[in-house]
Amino acid sequence: MPVQRQPSLPRRDRVVVVGAGVGGLVAALELAHHGADVTLLERATEPGGKMRRVAVAGRWLDAGPTVFTMRWVFDALCDDLGLRLDDHLALKPFSVLARHAWDGNGHFDLHADVARAADAIGDFAGADAARGYLDFVRRGRDIYRTLEGPFLRSSRPTPVSLAWRCGLAGLPGLLRISPFARLWHELGRHFADPRLRQLFGRYATYCGASPFHAPATLMLVAHVEQQGVWTVGGGMHQLARTLAGLAQRAGATLRYGCDVARIHVAGGRARGVVLADGEAIDADAVVFNGDAAALGAGLLGDDARRATAPVPRAQRSLSALTWNLVARTAGFPLLRHNVFFSPDYAAEFDDLTHRRRLPRAPTVYVCAHDRGDDGDPPPVGAERLLCLVNAPADGDLGPIPDEELASCEARTFRLLTQCGLQVQREPASTRITAPSDFHRLFPGTGGALYGQASHGWRASFTRPGSASRLPGLYLAGGSTHPGPGVPMAALSGRLAAQRVLRDLSRSRPASSATWPQAATPGGMSTR
């Protein structure tokens, strides 16, 4: 599709962006590029939001997202700004997406190349499993191609608008994507081996959901990964710093250490923000890049409550319990991304979603920051690790009791040991982050890391879109459409910026507005 040009705004249009997560950074960058007077306010001392970093034993570790996918999102952004992504980020693709282990019975590598992956699955689980994988790959590709334009790139869709955007020619594909089926059930049609069903069922956790309740449309993640998973030179946090630098270069003002107390509402619309120290900042539009649940909970003032609906506790996505540590390891041959599976996946998610407790038999994800692809030499000495297990998003109820936390920690590292990985941990070189910590970092969430849980076919249509219910207040971030994850949050920032530009342009007299013909009204500009 041709690039959809944006209207250029005169400097009198002031936009405040709240939150320097990926969505807010992209919105600020695009708005500033198109002439808006942008002020980005961030409570932390540096950009990133959930793409944060922590210091452990004098070394920086990514403490949020660890993979870079869908690079076309950032390529398209840079193209529209007259930039080249490779001039600003050092990206290296992985040939092995992740290394997987079950109870010490060796390990299985999932390759990015489909043919190599099918061969490896055949060796691992038999010829039927390899054929099932190829069928699964085709379904994932078809789902992605069906939803990319009319859903991922578009403003908040409804079932009716999605069908309309697909058109008559696209309706057969829309009917084939199994929107009403659950992921776990559909995986059973492709994989008889429970280990493979478990491996690909983990895609649900990429958006904080249970594979037993998530829609089968999440099989599209397979296609996303096959299009490339990259490592970012300097860590994922480097992406946030790069976007922040580009936004400043485009003319945006970035202010850190600014705690926004409330959205200022006058005349029935958002007119700016008020900081915790009483400073008022006027604006013609406000983009909120926090979790939308904070608005519905009244954390940004009673006047802003009506901007979005509150998210009930039972509808929250998963949280996490993480260990960032610097330690020596031995035994299991780690790659950058590693997954050590629970022996009982159903019990794990029963604990998480129904009993709302830390799992008695957790699956453990380990990101080895100093490791690379298959064949790369291992690091010498202590290495940087992020170990993560899923947790219920009940951080607003208070900290996890010490005995429960200690028990989960023991089970977590016992599983690693059973799979052959020895980690020589020291308390002084370990930093633990629990749901209550995530709730403190991201208020209104209970520690939920992905907004509303993607459970059931309706969930994808209930995330708020870029225009909130409160005129003048716009939304970006992983809790909004099109969903969680770094590239999705970036898309939400672009959608929010596009809506702001359109609305401000239309609010001015026709003689003063510049509004070029759009190639696809309501759609995302593409390469």
Q: How confident is the model at residue 507 (pLDDT cuts 50, 70, 90)?
A: confident
As a whole number of angstroms, the distance between CA 28 and CA 276 comes to 22
- 262-318 pLDDT, tens digit per residue, is 999 999 999 999 999 999 999 999 999 999 999 999 999 999 999 999 899 999 999
Q: Is 519 inside any structural domain?
A: no
Residue 449 has pLDDT above 80, yes or no: yes
Q: SS3 of 54, please?
A: strand
Residue 122 has pLDDT above 90, yes or no: yes
Distance of CA 381 to the CA centre of its chain: 32
- Average pLDDT of span 473-491: 94
Task: Choose one of 194, 221, 248: the last residue of a domain.
Answer: 221
Asked if 389 and 365 sit in the same domain, the reply is yes
Residue 97 belongs to a domain: no
At 323-353, the pLDDT tens digits run 999 999 999 999 999 999 999 999 999 999 9
Residue 186 in domain: yes
CATH code, 508: 3.50.50.60
Instruction: Read off the tokens for 128.
Output: 């039927």
334 and 280 in one domain? Answer: no
In percent, the amount of the chain with pLDDT more than 90 equals 80
Interval 450-460 mean pLDDT: 79
| Boundary residue ending a domain (221, 252, 276) | 221
Residue 513's pLDDT band (cuts 50, 70, 90): very low
Q: Output the pTM of the full model.
A: 0.91
Could you tell me the pLDDT band of residue 168, with boundaries at 50, 70 and 90?
very low
Peptide bond into 172 cis (omega under 30): no
Question: What local confidence, expressed as pLDDT, does residue 145 receive?
Answer: 85
Q: What is the pLDDT of residues 244-259, one digit of tens each?
A: 999 999 999 999 999 9
CB 489 within 8 A of CB 284: no
Q: Who wins on pLDDT, 460 or 522?
A: 460
Residues 363 and 340 in one domain: yes
Question: Both 36 and 76 in a single domain?
Answer: yes
Residue pair 456/215 in contact (Cβ under 8 Å)? The answer is: yes
Residues 269 and 279 in one domain: yes
- The 10s digit of each residue's pLDDT in 279-295 is 999 999 999 999 999 99
Domain count across the chain: 3
Looking at residue 328, its pLDDT comes to 98
Counting other chains too, the contacts that 399-408 makes at CB distance below 8 Å and 24 or more residues apart are: 399/434, 399/436, 400/321, 400/358, 400/434, 400/435, 400/436, 404/357, 404/358, 405/321, 405/358, 405/432, 405/434, 407/358, 408/321, 408/358, 408/359, 408/362
In this structure, the answer to whether residues 287 and 389 fall within a common structural domain is no
371 & 422 share domain: yes
Q: Which one is predicted more confidently, 113 or 5?
A: 113
Report pLDDT digits (tens) over 6-17. Answer: 555 544 599 999
SS3 313: helix
Alpha-carbon distance of 381 to 12, in angstroms, equals 56
Percent of the chain with pLDDT over 70: 87
Neighbours of 39 (CB within 10 A): 21
Q: What is the pLDDT of residue 171?
A: 46
Residue 127 clears pLDDT 90, i.e. is over it:
yes
Contact in structure between 445 and 439 (CB atoms under 8 Å) = yes
Are residues 120 and 35 located together in one domain of the fold?
no
156 band by pLDDT with thresholds 50, 70 and 90 = low
Give CA–CA dist 434/437, Å, rounded. Answer: 5
Q: 523's torsion region: left (phi>0), alpha (psi -120 to 50) or beta?
A: beta
Specify the pLDDT at position 139.
92
Task: Compute the chain's Rg from CA coordinates.
Answer: 23
pLDDT computed for residue 269 by the predictor: 97
Q: pLDDT tens-digit profile of 432-445?
A: 999 999 999 999 99
Give pairs for 134-137: CB < 8 Å, separation 24+.
Answer: 135/190, 136/187, 136/190, 136/191, 136/200, 136/219, 136/222, 137/222, 137/223, 137/226
Instruction: Tell me what pLDDT residue 463 has.
Output: 86
Residue 405: is its pLDDT beyond 60?
A: yes
- Strand 229-232 and strand 91-93: pairing? antiparallel
Residues 276 and 336 in one domain: no
Question: Is a pLDDT exceeding 70 seen at residue 261?
Answer: yes
332 and 306 within one domain: no
Burial 135-172 (b: 16+ CB within 10 A, else e): ebbebbbbbbebbbbbbbbbbbbeeebbbebbeeebee
Residue 514 is predicted with a pLDDT of: 41
Q: What are the phi and psi torsion angles at 194 (to 5°)?
A: -60, -25
What pLDDT does residue 180 have?
A: 72
Residue 226 forms part of a structural domain: no
Query: What average pLDDT does range 25-44 have in this prediction?
Result: 97
> What angle (nearest 5°) sits at the alpha carbon of residue 310, between those of residues 305 and 313?
150
Distance CA 383, CA 328 (A): 6
Residue 248 lies in a domain: yes
The last residue of one of the domains, among 199, 221, 243, is: 221
User: What's the pLDDT score for residue 161?
Assistant: 52
Segment 148-163 shows an average pLDDT of 60
- Domain of residue 37 covers 14-51+68-90+235-313+454-512
Q: Give me the pLDDT at residue 3, please.
A: 41
Task: Assign 282 to helix, strand or coil.
Answer: strand
For residue 121 the two structure tokens come to 């699955």
Cα–chain center distance at 333: 28
